Structure 1
Amino acid sequence: MSRLLRAGAIMAAGTMVSRLTGFLRTAVLAAAIGTATLGDAYNVAYTIPYILFDLLIGGVLSSVVVPMIVRRQKSDPDGGRAYEQRLLTIATIALIAVSALAVVLAGPLIQLYTSELSEKELRTATVLAQMILPQIAFFGLGALAGAILNTRDRFGAPMWAPVLNNIVVIGVGVTYLNITDGQSNIDNVTSGQLALLGLGTTAGIVAQSIVLVVSLRRAGFSFRPRLGLREAGLGEMARLGGWSLAYVAITQAGFVVTTKLSTGAGALAFDEGVPYGAGLTAYNIAYQLFQLPYGIIAVSVITATLPNMSRFVHDGRLADASEAFMSGVRLVCSAIVPASLLLMVLGPSLTVLVFAHGVNTVADAVYIGNVLQVYALAMVPFTLFQMLLRVFYSFADTRTPVMFAAMNVAINAGLSLVAFYTLPPGFVVMGLGAAFTVTYTVAAAVAWRMASRRVGGLSVRVVAAALSRMFTAALPAVLVALAVLWGVDRAFGLTPLSSAVVLAAGGGLGGMTYLVIAHRLRIPEVNSIVGMVAGRVGR
């Protein structure tokens, strides 16, 4: 537990700064380009490189590459160095080729992920995509460097490097806001303004990847191009990675549905005169905020846990692998539970404070907050599901997660289509959030049962008891936050200033209430976190 806490703390610090600067980046861009048509065009173009990266290497990194590198470090006479060099060489060549092809196919890719957009919106999104898609190569190179660093227990750089990316794009957003004087009409955007947005976004990823490559060299990795395909283990990687690619392909098929429905809903809402952005941009921002606690808390622990679980499984120590997983779950949930409940209460206050600026109105920000409230319901089951996948990955089992992906996409796509065709356009994105919640609740329950069989037992009773104590401690915190929200709203209404008061008082008092009650209930994970923080502050 202490080793996991130390590793988690290092990553959590970097991830927190990364996520918070990413949060500021999103707020600046939203203020500059809005949450309506121009914002949707940018977000579609911005999202596609991440989709292609996931299809090519992202899923394989977490499920196949890290366990394979760990095994080569244990078995190869050179500690796996030649294997890592071959892997980096082949990946770099492939990523450059894919980036070039993606730029050529930018137009068809945009049409694949959108619906109901005007000709001007499609042209704008395509031009932005052509300038943003080259970042696939840099993103992939940096991610692979980060994976190699993780196998050396160097967790800091991969968590801190995105901060530089965010700073660069924040500068781009501020510059755009200044030169356009707060005008976000897509019909008036110039080619120079699009170049600032597109090339500036790519520059951020370039800076991030350079930091990771430099950090890898400082960790003792010396790169030497190697093209020995036979020694690269590509056959094994293809066999295992094929299922990972199938997993990512299935989930991205589901993402196509979600993106088409959200862009379509936004266009229909705009045509009907809905007085707030209700499309893809609102969906993306709410999802990013939903991911903030998960990214700061859970990703750090998951990243530290997977190499350990892989080693335990490799050595046949299934009881130790089970205990590592259970410790990670309890540690993560001790922070995720109160975060999810407080977001359900304070979501609109958070989004009004951050996004009711520039070209965005209070109504735009409130809608994002309403979507966030729906998403908050999914935080615990989503986190559990993501952690459960690592149980299968530690066994080098990439086939079982494909089954989960197919199940999730079927449930989520079906419920999302129901929401699109039954709800008014202004409420469709909230319906998509509800579909997401139901999907991951079912997925977590099924995955737990199967993972328990694989690892030799995961005690539902132990986790349920721990979660019940955490929810018991969190509910009074929610009541405190609700009381502050009700009082401030009645006195001052909903403004960015009143929202700041609600977040400071309601969030602060609510968080303190949770910590005090959790300590009284002797929740060991909370006490461990508080003790570690107190010890560091006292130094």
Structure 2
Amino acid sequence: MSRVLRASAIMAAGTMVSRVTGFVRTAVLASTIGVLALGDAYNVAFMIPMMLFDFLIGGVLSSVVVPMIVRAQKSDADGGRAYEQRLMTVATLALIVIAALGVLFAPLLVDVITTDLDPVKTHVTVTLTRYILPQIAFFGIGAIAGAILNTRDRFGAPMWAPVLNNIVVIAVGVAYHVVSGAGANIREVTSSDLALLGLGTTAGIVAQSIILIIAVHRVGFRFVPRFDLRNARLGEIGRMGAWTLAFVAFNQIGLTITTNLATGATAKAGAAHVAGIASYSYAYQFFQLPYGIIAVSVITAMLPRMSRYAHEGQFGAIRQEFVSGVRLVSAAIVPAGLMLMVLGPAVAVLVFAHGSTSVDDALNIGTVLQVFGLALVPFSIYQLLLRVFYSFGDTRSPALIALGNVVVNASVGFVLYLTLPPHLIVMGLALSFTLAYVLGGVVAWRLAAAKVVGGLGGRDVGVALSRMYLASIPAAALALAVLWATKQFAGITPLSSAIMLAVGGGAGALIYLFTSQRMRIAEITSIIGLVAGRVGR
């Protein structure tokens, strides 16, 4: 566990700065453009290039391209430089063409991903989409550059480059607040306002890519366009990445369905202020914060070792690595999930209830966040389980499990869309997301355990989780009591929310540390020891 802990702590530092600045970016944009019609339009426009990039290259890059670059570096006479140049060439050309086609067919893309937009909302969403879509090409350039750096054990630039992107977009949000007279009113927003928001968002990705290009230049990579693409091994990439592509495609289909249902909720509500796709997106980003800081770092540290153990047939070592990873992640994720369930509205009001976002709009985000709190533990364990499959080179099982997740998420979400009142629909979508990952986690566990002789240590994981939940209950109970008392005396405002978080969250964290120490939860002791050691240096 100590190896996982040390490696995860090193990577978590950069990840934390990136996630925190990303969350500040989200808060600034919410304050500037709100979470209603204009906020929905911006979030839809931002999702489209992200979805296209993930579908076209993002998933394949992480599972196929990096290993192929490593293989070329070892087997090719030039150390793989020509192969890297071919990859950069084909990715750049393909994504430029796709970005151009996306701009041309933006109205169709918006129509596919949304439901019942009126003409003004459609025009604004399409305009923003056309400004933001060109960033696909820069995403691709930066992604290949990051892969080249990772194969050379240079992780600093890929870790910190997104921070510059976030800073640029924060500056764009502040500039919009200063120069625009429309604020969050979608019917008063001007062409120059939309250009500032859209092109400013794209500028953030351009800045991120430039940092990565400079970084690969410094490690000796020189980009020379190469058009002898027969040697780019695209067929091999396609064969190896087919199931990964299916996995990404299924997830993007699920996101498309969710976006349609969330935009349909605002259309059904008419003039009433209800949670829409912006509220769902902002709540999801906050839900991802503890997962991104804690679980992603552990996953990154454990996957190479699990892959080596799988290759050598060391099933006991795989089980030990997996159990250690789950316990380490859960030690922080379990209390974080309970705290989100209790303090979600207070968090949302403190962070979002400023500028163009009212307290009621922020509470809509907070109630969705509470439901996402239920999903934090099953979602994180599910992601760890996928790494068991990947360590055995199995990309087929994750794709089929993802298909099942989409079916459950879409089916439950659609039923709730038809039966719930508009103000509860997006909460229902968060609940369908949770149920999908609970069921998906059960299926993934059974299939992954069948690959490891002796199983995955389910009893050890179950006992550890039970003890962590028991240690978290007093902290959550105190936070709930503080929340109730503060609401009775001061209502819900940004100031009272700050009190709830400072007292309820802060005291709750101390209680969790105390109870976990008394219950001898070793993972918490290890984390405290590591942090204390680093602070003391």
Q: Which residue of 2 aligns with 1:429?
A: 426
Contact 1:355 1:365 in 2 (8 A): yes
Structure 1, 528-537 or 154-163: larger mean CA deviation: 154-163
Q: Which residue of 2 aligns with 1:52?
A: 52
Contact 1:240 1:397 in 2 (8 A): no
Q: Which residues of structure 1 form unaligned runs of 5+?
A: none
Q: 1:133 to 1:210 in 2, by over 3 A?
A: same
Q: Which residue of 1 aligns with 2:437?
A: 440
Deviation digits for residues 349-387 of structure 1 (CA, Å, limit 9, x no counterpart): 000001111111111011110000011101111111112
1:266-305 equivalences in 2 (<5 Å): 266-269=266-269, 271=270, 273-274=271-272, 276-305=273-302
Q: Which residue of 1 aligns with 2:253?
A: 253
Q: 1:295 to 1:478 in 2, by over 3 A?
A: same
2:474 corresponds, among 472, 476, 491, to: 476
1:184, distance to aligned residue in structure 2 (A): 1.7
Contact 1:285 1:368 in 2 (8 A): yes
For the pair 1:375 / 2:360, whether they are aligned, the reply is no
1:505, distance to aligned residue in structure 2 (A): 1.5
Q: 1:95 to 1:310 in 2, by over 3 A?
A: farther
Matched residue type, 1:503: L
Q: Which residue of 2 aligns with 1:400?
A: 397
Percent of residue pairs identical: 61
Structure 1, 106-115 or 246-255: larger mean CA deviation: 246-255
1:232, distance to aligned residue in structure 2 (A): 3.2
Matched residue type, 2:157: A
Contact 1:375 1:437 in 2 (8 A): yes
1:79, distance to aligned residue in structure 2 (A): 5.5
User: Which whole-Å CA distance do the structure 2 matches of 1:362 and 1:400 have between them?
Assistant: 44
1:165, distance to aligned residue in structure 2 (A): 0.8
Structure 1, 40-49 or 72-81: larger mean CA deviation: 72-81
User: Which whole-Å CA distance do the structure 1 matches of 2:74 and 2:325 have between them?
Assistant: 24
For the pair 1:64 / 2:61, whether they are aligned, the reply is no
Contact 1:64 1:396 in 2 (8 A): no
1:504 corresponds, among 502, 505, 521, to: 502
User: Which whole-Å CA distance do the structure 2 matches of 1:222 and 1:321 have between them?
Assistant: 39
Q: Which residue of 1 aligns with 2:491?
A: 493
TM-score (norm 1): 0.95
Contact 2:274 2:422 in 1 (8 A): no
For the pair 1:462 / 2:467, whether they are aligned, the reply is no
Q: 3-state DSSP class of the match of 2:187?
A: helix
Structure 1, 234-243 or 426-435: larger mean CA deviation: 234-243
TM-score (norm 2): 0.95
1:149, distance to aligned residue in structure 2 (A): 3.1
User: Which whole-Å CA distance do the structure 1 matches of 2:86 and 2:317 have between them?
Assistant: 32
Q: Which residues of structure 2 form unaligned runs of 5+?
A: none
Q: 3-state DSSP class of the match of 1:188?
A: coil
User: Which whole-Å CA distance do the structure 1 matches of 2:72 and 2:520 have between them?
Assistant: 42
Contact 1:67 1:310 in 2 (8 A): no
Q: Which residue of 2 aligns with 1:100?
A: 100
Q: 3-state DSSP class of the match of 2:520?
A: coil
Q: Which residue of 2 aligns with 1:185?
A: 185
> How many aligned positions are there?
536
User: Which whole-Å CA distance do the structure 2 matches of 1:444 and 1:377 have between them?
Assistant: 14
Contact 2:327 2:461 in 1 (8 A): yes
Deviation digits for residues 401-446 of structure 1 (CA, Å, limit 9, x no counterpart): 1211210111010001011100111110000011111110000011
User: Which whole-Å CA distance do the structure 1 matches of 2:319 and 2:19 have between them?
Assistant: 30
Q: 1:311 to 1:228 in 2, by over 3 A?
A: farther
Contact 1:66 1:307 in 2 (8 A): no
User: Which whole-Å CA distance do the structure 2 matches of 1:221 and 1:483 have between them?
Assistant: 58
1:357-376 equivalences in 2 (<5 Å): 357-376=354-373
Q: 1:336 to 1:217 in 2, by over 3 A?
A: farther
Q: Which residue of 1 aligns with 2:238?
A: 238
Q: Which residue of 1 aligns with 2:388?
A: 391
Q: 1:318 to 1:104 in 2, by over 3 A?
A: farther
Q: 1:219 to 1:339 in 2, by over 3 A?
A: farther
1:141, distance to aligned residue in structure 2 (A): 2.0
1:67-86 equivalences in 2 (<5 Å): 67-72=67-72, 80-86=80-86
For the pair 1:26 / 2:26, whether they are aligned, the reply is yes
Q: 1:477 to 1:137 in 2, by over 3 A?
A: same
Q: Which residue of 2 aligns with 1:309?
A: 306
For the pair 1:329 / 2:326, whether they are aligned, the reply is yes
User: Which whole-Å CA distance do the structure 1 matches of 2:438 and 2:128 have between them?
Assistant: 36
Contact 1:14 1:159 in 2 (8 A): yes
Contact 2:88 2:144 in 1 (8 A): yes
Q: 3-state DSSP class of the match of 1:247?
A: helix
Q: Which residue of 2 aligns with 1:412?
A: 409
Structure 1, 354-363 or 454-463: larger mean CA deviation: 454-463
Structure 1, 55-64 or 349-358: larger mean CA deviation: 55-64
CA RMSD of aligned residues (A): 1.9
Structure 1, 152-161 or 124-133: larger mean CA deviation: 152-161
1:330, distance to aligned residue in structure 2 (A): 1.6
Matched residue type, 2:197: L
Structure 1, 300-309 or 103-112: larger mean CA deviation: 300-309
1:126, distance to aligned residue in structure 2 (A): 0.7
User: Which whole-Å CA distance do the structure 2 matches of 1:79 and 1:149 have between them?
Assistant: 14
Q: Which residue of 1 aligns with 2:531?
A: 533
For the pair 1:514 / 2:503, whether they are aligned, the reply is no
User: Which whole-Å CA distance do the structure 2 matches of 1:431 and 1:211 have between them?
Assistant: 40
Contact 1:35 1:277 in 2 (8 A): no
1:450, distance to aligned residue in structure 2 (A): 0.8
1:347, distance to aligned residue in structure 2 (A): 0.4
Q: 3-state DSSP class of the match of 1:286?
A: helix
Contact 1:7 1:155 in 2 (8 A): no
1:146, distance to aligned residue in structure 2 (A): 2.4
1:104, distance to aligned residue in structure 2 (A): 1.3
Contact 2:182 2:189 in 1 (8 A): no
User: Which whole-Å CA distance do the structure 1 matches of 2:496 and 2:156 have between them?
Assistant: 36
Q: Which residue of 1 aligns with 2:351?
A: 354
1:522, distance to aligned residue in structure 2 (A): 1.9
Matched residue type, 2:483: L
Contact 1:10 1:156 in 2 (8 A): no
Q: Which residue of 1 aligns with 2:202?
A: 202
